[in-house]
Structure 1
Amino acid sequence: MKELERARWRCRRGLLELDIVLQRFMDQYYTQLDESGLEQFERLLALPDNDLWDLITARQVTTDDNLQQVLELLQKS
């Protein structure tokens, strides 16, 4: 449970739109992620807010196929 709370804290960002998407993702998908998915999510959270938002809104495309699974879930959120 401590890991879940830590992840929720890391989802607090500077963009309101990003906060909303990340909180929906946490509520709907986070607990269903396997180890690889959790790692992908952490890598996405390490991105600057604007870069992450651009990936979620498909203004920017990632060249890293490993991030695609979690990115698609974020786009559904």
Structure 2
Amino acid sequence: MNIEINKTRWKCRRGLRELDLLFRKFADTTLESLDQDDLLMFNSILDIEDQPLYDFIFKRHALGNTAQEDFIIKYLKKFLD
């Protein structure tokens, strides 16, 4: 699973600074404790373009995938405080 986590860490590098900082902070503190299903979900979120992610996280525009939205709310929003 180490290789998969390293690939996921690399995918956390984003074009938008706000997302880059958020995802890298999440990866540093939480990534290794995720179960396989949550790791797959996080990877699916990282496959989304930056602008829709930014709009959901910071402007509350829907992504159109409730499972991804729920994951972001559960795990990532706490890193914005």
- Fold conserved (TM > 0.5)? yes
Superposition misfits of 4+ residues, deviation over 4 angstroms: none
Q: How many residues align?
A: 77
**Identity, % of aligned positions:** 32
User: More deviation in 37-46 or 50-59?
Assistant: 50-59
* Cα RMSD, aligned residues only: 1.6
Contact 1:37/1:69, CA 8 A, preserved across alignment: no
TM-score, length basis structure 1: 0.83
RCO comparison, higher one (Cα < 8 Å, 6+): 1
- The amino acid across from 2:10 in the alignment is W
**Structure 1 segments unaligned to the other structure (5+ residues):** none
TM-score, length basis structure 2: 0.80
Q: 1:37-58 CA distances to partner (integer Å, 9 max, x unpaired)?
A: 1121111111100111122225
